[in-house]
Structure 1
Amino acid sequence: MKGSIYLTIAIITEIFATTMLKVSEGFTVLIPSVAVVVGYALSFYCLSLCLRTIPLSIAYAVWSGVGTVITAVISVIVWGEVFTDFKVLGIIFIIGGVVLLNTGKNTVTENDPSG
């Protein structure tokens, strides 16, 4: 359960930092620029904590996938970016990839030197 909480915080802070990246205007505006650094630092810290209980492949797929999808939606709502059919298709593929990674078996193969 703790891993899921850390992963959720990592996703929220990554989305916040990415949004501030746009507002920072190429790191020329101080407050949003500081928010980018703090947001990403907190995001990576929480991501590292969630890896204590969640496998890396699943945690990273969920973190990057959910972050990408929500950031795309924010860009449409806040900055009026166009939501094309290709963007929708891309989001569907991202969600599908995350779902596949979460439902796949975690097995060790014979060729795996760690197994």
Structure 2
Amino acid sequence: MTVLALICLTAAIIAEVTATVSLRMASTGKKLWWIGVGAGYVFAFTMLSVVLAEGVAIGVAYGIWAAAGVAITAILSRIFFKEPLTWVMSLGLILIVGGVLLIELGAAH
């Protein structure tokens, strides 16, 4: 993975998590958060397309993006919104990350 792909993938993850947290805030009726939702998702998919243009396989790029997004969003939802994050949910997050690592290792061959 090139440096540009890694930077863009990181930006895509941050943008997607920001958009998802903004979506949670927008659901409370505060319409200004919808700007963060739209801008975040558009930027996230734009950065993800750059990652793919850099030659990263879609299974690897999307897997890392989705797994990181799920894990970070779950942690932030616990911190900011006091939503549950049980040990079973944490185990599920670990399994998701492990699955993505296996996909990346398999793609290296």
Q: TM-score, normalised by structure 2?
A: 0.91
Structure 2 equivalent of residue 90 of structure 1: 92
Q: 1:106: Cα distance to partner?
A: 5.3
Q: Which amino acid aligns with 1:103?
A: L
Q: 1:21: Cα distance to partner?
A: 0.3
Q: How many residues align?
A: 106
Q: 1:89: Cα distance to partner?
A: 1.3
Structure 1 equivalent of residue 103 of structure 2: 101
Equivalences for residues 1-40 of structure 1 within 5 A: 1-25=3-27, 28-40=29-41
**Would you tell me which structure has more helix in proportion to its own residues?**
2
**Max Rg structure:** 1
**Residues 1:25 and 1:105: Cα distance change in structure 2 (over 3 Å):** closer
Instruction: List, as ranges, runs of 4+ consecutive aligned residues in structure 1 with deviation greater than 2 Å.
Output: none
Q: Which amino acid aligns with 2:88?
A: F
Query: In 2, distance between residues paired with 1:9 and 1:38?
Result: 13
Q: Which amino acid aligns with 2:81?
A: W
What is the alpha-carbon root mean square deviation over aligned residues?
A: 1.4
Q: 1:83: Cα distance to partner?
A: 1.6
The 3-state SS of whatever aligns with 2:53 is coil
Q: 1:34: Cα distance to partner?
A: 1.3
Query: In 2, distance between residues paired with 1:106 and 1:94?
Result: 19
Equivalences for residues 2-81 of structure 1 within 5 A: 2-25=4-27, 28-53=29-54, 54-81=56-83
Structure 2: tracts of 5 or more residues without a match: none
Query: In 2, distance between residues paired with 1:106 and 1:7?
Result: 18
Query: In 1, distance between residues paired with 2:101 and 2:77?
Result: 24
Query: In 1, distance between residues paired with 2:108 and 2:85?
Result: 35
Query: In 2, distance between residues paired with 1:56 and 1:50?
Result: 9
- Percent identity between matched residues is 35
